[in-house]
């Protein structure tokens, strides 16, 4: 007598084939679905036309994640050779030409197929704001020249304009908080301190209701409302402040000037024109402009600080409190990112992580070091920068402590930063994010789990059910719906 097992029955073979086919299909689908999607990148270009120089930034981001915070990163930075575009007032075509090399780099860096869809923006800051005051006609022509160069590139030209001080401050704040992924954190945002050559910006969220509309900016980002205090001080960038400081010390009849903000042994013949060529200082006669004076250092931090205090007006304030020059400012709150020249100078001086008292001691020591020692110790550093670090560091300390009212308690809340997650801190990223609508007002709906995770989970659950079914069949006997075993 032979017993025919169910495995030999046509029905069971059929079921088994279906089971196996189903598992193979599921595994295949899961593998295909989970294969990392070929990342499609998008690109954007921003030219930061500063008073001292222009920098081109190329940003990139995965196309399908453009509304997630922190997804846009800096792919490449190109420094334009030569000075800022405002220095081309007398030879405007040169401003356009100066950008050509960086635009060429952009063509190499961004895949050709993407050129047409890559937006390019140029934003000019305080150098051009000053030229606009001094010589409007030339300023307009400089902007036209840079516009022409950008329009001639294969990228999608989106505009070249002089941005306002409020925009410069606010977009710097957006950049640091976007890169720090702070917009979706409960911990709050970080203030932004930007020091340029011709202006400086302070931007932060204050508990206090902003008392002057010029200093208030409102944003709704990722479902949260932010009221931001911002102010840009034109002429208080470090290059213009040096002119303001020299103007205070120089009399038109002087042939030499002893300056505590420069090192002993430093001595340089300078034209009056170098000091008085800016709308930030009082004009002098053409005669006086052509004279020169011997700029000599005496290297004394305390005296330097006292001389720098003279360029701030601390006396008048129409609001509950002010920073300086009658500008309303609520008390500083929270942590701050201090970038651009704040970082360059304090990083050079090795004073980015010290207490306020130690920072002052460090400055005192640095300023009294003789010029020849400084030159010997830093043979590779550009002499122009090198000569000015004592002045710039002292100005930074004075601006932060006496201007913005940072104290020895909250000094540690200032972080001197160059980059966050590989991208430079500055207004340019925030500017592009804003213009491309990449920061949504409301938080995007996020699925419970990523797609890949979902497919994997479904696969495991299905396998688990199949195993249960199989075990159920072998241990508990055949379901009653199957035909009874035939005994032959
Ligand atoms: N390595 C460096 N050391 C010191 N200062 C620097 C260094 N690199 C750039 N700077 C200074 O940083 C400032 C940048 O200002 P910039 O962005 O051109 O002007 P603005 O923002 O006012 O239009 C300038 O004063 C420039 O001299
Ligand atoms: Ca700048």
What is the chain's pLDDT, residue by residue, as a tens digit (488 residues)? 444 455 556 766 766 676 677 767 766 766 666 655 556 999 999 999 999 999 999 999 998 888 787 799 999 999 999 999 999 999 999 999 999 999 999 999 999 999 999 999 999 999 999 999 999 999 999 999 999 999 999 999 999 999 999 999 999 999 999 999 999 888 899 999 999 999 999 999 999 999 999 999 999 999 999 999 999 999 999 999 999 999 999 987 789 999 999 999 999 999 999 999 999 999 999 988 999 999 999 999 999 999 999 999 999 999 999 999 999 999 999 999 999 999 999 999 999 999 999 999 999 999 999 999 999 999 999 999 999 999 999 999 999 999 999 999 999 999 999 999 999 999 999 999 999 999 999 887 665 666 666 667 777 777 777 777 777 777 666 555 555 555 44
Structure tokens at 125: 């800051």
One DSSP character per residue, 196-228 reads -SSEEEEEEE-SSPPS-GGGEEEEEETTEEEEE
CATH for 238-416 is: 3.30.420.150
User: Does residue 199's CB lie within 6 angstroms of at least one atom of ligand 1?
Assistant: yes
For atom 25 of ligand 1, the residue with the nearest CA is 197
Residues 6 or more apart in contact with residue 245 via CB below 8 angstroms: 261, 307, 308, 310, 311, 391, 395
Report the distance separating Cα 142 and Cα 293, nearest Å. 32
Which parts of 139-282 are beta strand (E)? 156-162, 191-195, 199-205, 216-221, 224-234, 256-259, 267-271
Counting from 1 in the atom list of ligand 1, the atom nearest the Cα of 126 is 23
Is residue 116 classed as helix, strand or coil in its secondary structure? helix
Ligand nearest to the CA of 198: 1
DSSP β-ladder status, 119-124 and 73-79: unpaired
Catalytic center residues? 168
User: Does residue 125's CB lie within 6 angstroms of at least one atom of ligand 1?
Assistant: yes
CB 169 within 8 A of CB 232: yes
Report the distance separating Cα 364 and Cα 350, nearest Å. 13
DSSP 382: -
Which parts of 291-352 are beta strand (E)? 292-297, 336-340
Is residue 323 classed as helix, strand or coil in its secondary structure? coil
Counting from 1 in the atom list of ligand 1, the atom nearest the Cα of 53 is 18
CB 295 within 8 A of CB 262: yes
Nearest Cα neighbor of 337 from 237, 446, 414 is: 414
Identify the burial level of 432 via C-beta atoms within 10 angstroms of its C-beta, where 0-12 means exposed, 13-18 middle and 19 or more buried.
buried
Structure tokens at 256: 């030499």
Question: Which residue among 50, 125, 131, 348 has the greatest number of ligand 1 atoms within 8 angstroms of its CB, and so is best to mutate?
Answer: 50
Angle between helices 165-179 and 427-435 (to 10 degrees): 90
Q: What does the domain layout of the chain look like in residue ranges?
A: 6-32+448-476, 238-416
CB 103 within 8 A of CB 177: no
Structure tokens at 432: 């592009």
User: Does residue 52's CB lie within 6 angstroms of at least one atom of ligand 1?
Assistant: yes
Beta bridge partners of 160: 122
User: Does residue 50's CB lie within 6 angstroms of at least one atom of ligand 1?
Assistant: yes
For atom 10 of ligand 1, the residue with the nearest CA is 341
Structure tokens at 68: 């997630």
φ/ψ bin of 159: left (φ > 0), alpha (ψ from -120 to 50), beta (otherwise): left
User: Alpha carbon of 207 to those of 188, 213, 332, 333: distances in Å?
Assistant: 12, 15, 10, 8
Evaluate the CA torsion angle 463, 469, 471, 473 in order and state its sign. Answer: negative
Question: Which residue among 124, 339, 344 has the greatest number of ligand 1 atoms within 8 angstroms of its CB, and so is best to mutate?
Answer: 344
Length in residues, the chain: 488
Question: Residue 80 CB: number of other CB atoms within 10 A?
Answer: 22
**What per-residue confidence (pLDDT) applies to 1?**
47
Q: How far apart are the first and last CA of the chain?
A: 7
**What per-residue confidence (pLDDT) applies to 452?**
66
Across the beta sheet with 199-205, what order do the strands follow?
Answer: 216-221, 224-234, 199-205, 191-195, 336-340, 414-416
How many alpha carbons fall within 13 Å on the CB side of residue 198? 22
The answer to whether the complex's ipTM is over 0.95 is yes
Exposure string (b/e) for 372-402, b if CB count within 10 Å is 16 or more?
eebbeeeeeeeeeebbbbbbbbbbbbbbbbb
Give the predicted TM-score (pTM) of the model: 0.87
Beta bridge partners of 3: 487
DSSP 409: T
The Å distance, Cα 55 to ligand 1 centre, comes to 11
The Å distance, Cα 180 to ligand 2 centre, comes to 20
The Å distance, Cα 15 to ligand 1 centre, comes to 75
């Amino acid at each position: 007598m032979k017993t025919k097992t169910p495995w030999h029955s046509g029905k069971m073979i059929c079921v088994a084939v279906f089971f196996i086919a189903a598992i193979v299909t599921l595994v295949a689908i899961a593998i295909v679905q989970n294969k990392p999607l070929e990342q499609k990148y998008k690109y954007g270009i921003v030219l930061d036309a500063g008073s001292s120089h222009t920098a081109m930034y190329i940003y990139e981001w995965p196309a399908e994640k453009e509304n997630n915070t922190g997804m846009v990163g800096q792919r490449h930075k190109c420094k334009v050779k030569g000075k800022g575009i405002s220095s081309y007032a007398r030879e405007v075509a040169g401003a356009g030409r100066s950008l050509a090399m960086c635009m060429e780099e952009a063509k190499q860096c961004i895949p050709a197929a993407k050129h047409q869809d890559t937006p390019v923006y140029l934003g000019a800051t305080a150098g051009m704001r000053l030229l606009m005051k001094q010589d409007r006609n030339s300023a307009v022509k400089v902007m036209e020249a840079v516009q022409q160069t950008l329009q001639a590139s294969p990228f999608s030209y989106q505009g070249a304009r002089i941005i306002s001080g409020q925009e410069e401050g606010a977009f710097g704040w957006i950049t640091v908080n976007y890169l720090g992924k702070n917009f979706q954190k409960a911990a709050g945002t970080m203030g932004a301190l930007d020091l340029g050559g011709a202006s400086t910006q302070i931007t932060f969220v204050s508990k206090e209701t902003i008392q002057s509309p010029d200093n208030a900016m409102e944003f709704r980002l990722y479902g949260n409302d932010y009221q931001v205090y911002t102010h840009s001080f034109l002429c208080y960038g470090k290059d213009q402040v040096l002119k303001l400081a020299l103007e205070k010390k120089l009399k038109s009849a002087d042939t030499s000037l002893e300056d505590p903000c420069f090192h002993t042994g430093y001595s340089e013949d300078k034209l009056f024109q170098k000091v008085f060529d800016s709308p930030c200082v009082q004009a002098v006669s053409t005669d006086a402009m052509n004279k020169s004076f011997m700029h000599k250092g005496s290297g004394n931090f305390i005296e330097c600080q006292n001389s720098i205090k003279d360029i701030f007006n601390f006396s008048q304030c129409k609001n509950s409190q002010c920073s300086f020059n009658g500008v309303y400012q609520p008390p500083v709150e929270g942590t701050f990112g201090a970038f651009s020249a704040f970082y360059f100078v304090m990083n050079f001086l090795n004073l980015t992580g010290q207490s306020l008292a130690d920072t002052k001691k460090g400055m005192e020591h640095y300023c009294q070091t003789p010029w020849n020692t400084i030159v010997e110790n830093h043979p590779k550093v550009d002499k122009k920068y090198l000569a000015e670090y004592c002045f710039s560091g002292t100005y930074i300390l004075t601006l932060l402590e006496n201007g913005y009212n940072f104290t020895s308690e909250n000094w540690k809340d200032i972080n001197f930063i160059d980059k966050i997650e590989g991208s430079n801190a500055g207004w340019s990223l925030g500017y592009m994010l804003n213009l491309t609508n990449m920061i949504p007002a409301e938080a995007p709906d996020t699925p419970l789990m990523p797609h890949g995770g979902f497919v994997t989970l479904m696969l495991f659950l299905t396998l688990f059910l199949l195993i249960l079914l199989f075990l159920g069949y072998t241990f508990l006997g055949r379901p009653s719906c199957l035909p009874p075993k035939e005994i032959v």
